[in-house]
A and B are shown apart, each in its own frame.
Chain A
Amino acid sequence: MLRLQTAAELEKLRAGILAGRDPAKPCIAVCGGAACDGLDSAAVGTAFAAEIKKQGLEAKVDFRITGCHGLCNKGPNVIAGPGDVCYLEVKPEDVPEVVASTVKGEVVDRLVYRDPSTGAKAAHMNEIPFYKHQMRILLGDIPRIDPTSIDDYIGVGGYSALAKALTRMTPDQVLEEVKRANLRGRGGGGFPAGLKWETTRNAPEKTKYVIVNGHEGESAAFMDRAMLTGNPHRVIEGLIIGAYAIGAQQGFIYTRHDSPSMARHITKALAQAAECGLLGKNILGTGFDFEVELHFDVGIFVSGESSALMRSIEGNAPEPRPKYIRTSVSGIWDKPSNLNNVETWANVPEIINRGADWYTSIGSEKSKGTKLVSLSGHVVNSGVVEVPMGTPLRTIVFDIGGGVPDGRAPKAIHFGGAMGGSIPIGMIDAPLDFDGMSKLGAPIGAGGLLVMNEDTDMIEMARYLLDFLVKESCGKCTPCREGMWQMLKILTDIVEGRGRKFDLERLADLTEVTSLGSLCALGKTSSDPLKSMLRYFKPEFEARIAAGSPAGSAAAAGREAR
């Protein structure tokens, strides 16, 4: 590919790509996301490629393997166009029929969504409840592009925001737009990204770094992987724009090593962007230089914490450090380093293209834009969801998620993985909002939403989460290392029927000390799930201690408590 020298050349390339494409041409997109892959979507993909070849339709049908479509538990997912007909649970033997129908512009009725209660069919994406109630600004392109093709990304408008920022805006204007958009960090803290950028920009050192945190260690969170695997260029474009605003020369993408397709797609995207002159020296002829390196987490939860992550990029053990000097001032090799989550970066191109006014028109008063949510647990439709901030949890769990399966009643909603919290189902009308959810004791975190049914034993859940964190503590500070261990011991005793009279007071003490005395967020928030469970489900704990009963009668104890 030719190295692009100017923004005009990028537009010319885009026009050329679009001229060669016919929106009315039949196309088939097979989901290659994590869950579909686990349901052997690869076999379905192979079958499609073979069938299209066999019928000699290579010129008549576009075919691609894409990232995650969203409705993961109904995989393997296939979307056929034009018209976005969604086929669910597609097997290799269904393939010839789908190909034949797609070419004729027909729909294979037996493979489309059916409402579980009414049996009503919904073939098109915008009719299926799971998709209908979403606003897919970040995810929308994923089924439309091959993540390994920069042409596909440019074809859907990719890198136009970068061209706009570099050629028609000053770094200050970019920064101002992001600040005005009130883009808040999607990694868990909800800290305004613009302010963080500004801190790094204003830090005295000349060398500055920008980082994509794609560690996604939060249990039951899988949307960042979906984003990075399904549309890596979008995250990279956001990162380059951020680097321009901040004045950084070097970027890092830090992500998981255990997802081979993600690593492959990012590596390829970086190489393509460099080849096109969208990374490297003198980007689009504007004199702006920027490089990106890919780094991998090698298996420990705490390395998702910003200062630990930066230690890891330096090649050291990921021990967090106290943050009286923030990493945005002194991070990697003591240089100012601005770190944002995958989803935060993915929002940036849209803000630049459509403006802060458009962005702030979406969302709640203090949380703007959309939020990616990984919806899983005891829920009918599970997968990657994108809704405007401020959407009531009820919409996510019932309208999108389809409620709780197997005729069970819902009991609680858990947000934010091992450092999040649980709220009782009675609070389901609460809006999805950084501050609101934090106040309730179930901070959004990165966005893993877990639905729990009436049979869930909350005490066992608290014990399980602490058991996970005990193994993940880096061990540097005592309150975290020892405090969690003691909490785990008490909870294990309660679960196994050896609870004692003052256990709940002891737990309350320990949660307080651990929160106050730990250096990093892992220790500070390690007891948050427990705190939320003691806040909302205390009678369950008391009943269990009083009864001394083992975990078997958990559901009974829970029902009594309510």
Chain B
Amino acid sequence: MREQKIDSIIEKYKGRSGALIHALTEIQHANHWLPRAVMQKVADALEVPFSQVMQIASFYKTFSLTPKGRHEVHVCTGMTCHLRGGAKLMAKVQEITGLKCGETDAEAKFTLEAGSCLGSCSIGPELIVDGKHYGRMTPEKAADVLKQYE
């Protein structure tokens, strides 16, 4: 299923070297990470050197070269969230998940990321799980939110 989806994305951009970022972004969104074999396929199809694919994939923060967990957890570390206790929230989420930023747990349940700035400053600090925003988050409430995810 996923492989078909990836192949259809690559097919769409065949021969279009300028669309490298578009292709990688779509694959990242569909597959949540970029396996080496897939990057090789992209290089071949878009006719760009593998080194260039690697440069782009390793430079931009959105791309992941390792598998991610089933749920992507973001703690906003933007200025307003920071001012309103974002660091304490981050510490608590790290404690609950046992992860540092960028890490994925052994059961591939959560991947933890810092995000800045996600634009909902008025309701910071914010916790975002799989794109769902949880505003006015406190370290105490964070555990309840994360409990909902399997």
* A contact set with B: CB distance below 8 Å: 34-35, 37-39, 72-73, 75, 216-222, 225, 257-260, 295-296, 298-300, 312, 314-318, 374, 376-378, 382-383, 414, 417-418, 448, 450, 452, 456, 461, 464-465, 468, 474
Distance of A316 Cα from B55 Cα, bound (Å): 9
Contact B79 A414 (CB under 8 A): yes
Closest to B28 in A: A298
Distance of A417 Cα from B83 Cα, bound (Å): 12
B80 CB contacts on chain A under 8 angstroms: 219-220, 376-377, 450
Neighbour of B25 across the interface among A257, A383, A450, CB < 8 A: A257
Contact A316 B56 (CB under 8 A): yes
- Min Cβ gap B55→A in Å is 6
Given contacts A376-B124, A452-B83, contact A300 B59 (CB under 8 A): yes
Neighbour of A257 across the interface among B62, B117, B119, B121, CB < 8 A: B62
B78 CB contacts on chain A under 8 angstroms: 219-220
B98 at the interface (CB under 8 A from A): no
Contact B115 A222 (CB under 8 A): no
A418 CB contacts on chain B under 8 angstroms: 79
Neighbour of B119 across the interface among A222, A316, A382, A417, CB < 8 A: A222
Closest to B29 in A: A257
Neighbour of A219 across the interface among B28, B61, B79, CB < 8 A: B79
Contact B122 A382 (CB under 8 A): yes
A461 CB contacts on chain B under 8 angstroms: 83
Distance of A72 Cα from B123 Cα, bound (Å): 8
Closest to B16 in A: A315
A260 CB contacts on chain B under 8 angstroms: 131
B55 CB contacts on chain A under 8 angstroms: 317
A374 CB contacts on chain B under 8 angstroms: 121
Distance of A345 Cα from B75 Cα, bound (Å): 32
Q: Interface extent on B, as a size class?
A: 35 or more
Closest to B19 in A: A315
B17 at the interface (CB under 8 A from A): yes
Closest to B21 in A: A315
Contact A35 B135 (CB under 8 A): yes
By CB atoms of chain A within 10 A, which of B17, B80, B119, B133 has the most?
A: B119
B118 at the interface (CB under 8 A from A): yes
Q: Mark B102-120, 1 if CB is under 8 A from A, else 0.
A: 0000000000000111111
* B contact set with A: CB distance below 8 Å: 17-22, 24-25, 28, 55-56, 59-63, 77-80, 82-84, 115-124, 126, 131, 133-135
Contact B123 A73 (CB under 8 A): yes
Contact A417 B122 (CB under 8 A): no
B126 CB contacts on chain A under 8 angstroms: 38
- Min Cβ gap A446→B in Å is 11
Contact A298 B79 (CB under 8 A): no
A376 CB contacts on chain B under 8 angstroms: 80, 121-122, 124
A–B pairs, 28, beta carbons within 8 Å: A35-B122, A37-B120, A38-B133, A75-B123, A218-B117, A220-B79, A222-B117, A222-B119, A257-B62, A258-B115, A260-B131, A295-B22, A298-B21, A299-B60, A299-B61, A299-B62, A300-B61, A314-B18, A315-B56, A316-B56, A318-B59, A376-B80, A376-B124, A377-B83, A378-B84, A414-B79, A456-B83, A474-B59
B17 CB contacts on chain A under 8 angstroms: 315
Distance of A217 Cα from B60 Cα, bound (Å): 14
Given contacts A376-B80, A383-B122, 20 further A-B contacts (CB under 8 A): A35-B123, A38-B123, A73-B122, A217-B117, A220-B80, A220-B121, A225-B119, A259-B119, A260-B131, A298-B25, A299-B61, A299-B62, A312-B21, A317-B56, A377-B80, A378-B83, A382-B122, A414-B79, A452-B83, A465-B79
Contact B122 A317 (CB under 8 A): no
Neighbour of B60 across the interface among A295, A300, A452, CB < 8 A: A300
Distance of A295 Cα from B117 Cα, bound (Å): 19
Distance of A317 Cα from B126 Cα, bound (Å): 29
Closest to A418 in B: B79
Distance of A317 Cα from B54 Cα, bound (Å): 10
- Min Cβ gap A184→B in Å is 24
By CB atoms of chain A within 10 A, which of B24, B118, B131 has the most?
A: B118
Contact B79 A450 (CB under 8 A): yes
Closest to B55 in A: A317
Given contacts A300-B60, A317-B59, A376-B124, contact A216 B119 (CB under 8 A): yes
A448 CB contacts on chain B under 8 angstroms: 79
Contact A39 B135 (CB under 8 A): yes
A300 CB contacts on chain B under 8 angstroms: 59-61
